[in-house]
Structure 1
Amino acid sequence: MKLVFATFLLVSLVLSSYTMADPSNCHDKCGERCAKAGVMDRCVKYCGICCEECKCVPSGTYGNKHECPCYRDKMNSKGKSKCP
């Protein structure tokens, strides 16, 4: 029984990692994140870069960066947040 559960857990983790890395998933999530941005093209570009590296995008159009620490902690060369 433990072996079946461990196998199921491993398969679930592998499948979830594939869905998180899906580039179209990043595009959709960044479209939602940048819906109210003043310069939408730039927002989607940087959000996409951050999403591909971090494998997550915070919910909403602003804030909530605590949901994705990697996304929150990425900084540009000027020390400001790289991810919108």
Structure 2
Amino acid sequence: MHVDFQGLAAGLAVGLGVIGPGLGIGILTAKSSEAIGRNPDAAGAIRTNMILGAALAEGLGILSFVLGILLWTKIV
């Protein structure tokens, strides 16, 4: 990869890679809050599923961050 585009590629990999997980976690939290508001008795199950979904979505963000670091250090 050309040296001039190395920083650009790393920045785009991280920046564009966290847009989806960020939106997903935001929507997940909003809908979970709505569901708990409608049915407070199911708050425990809803909260557990929300945390699991947020962890999986955040994993994609961390993966794009690692990819950006690998691109920056010329490992890939």
What TM-score results when the alignment is normalised by the length of structure 2? Answer: 0.35
Larger Rg: 2
Larger proportion of helix: 2
Higher relative contact order (CA 8 A, sep 6+): 2
Task: Return the TM-score normalized by structure 1.
Answer: 0.33
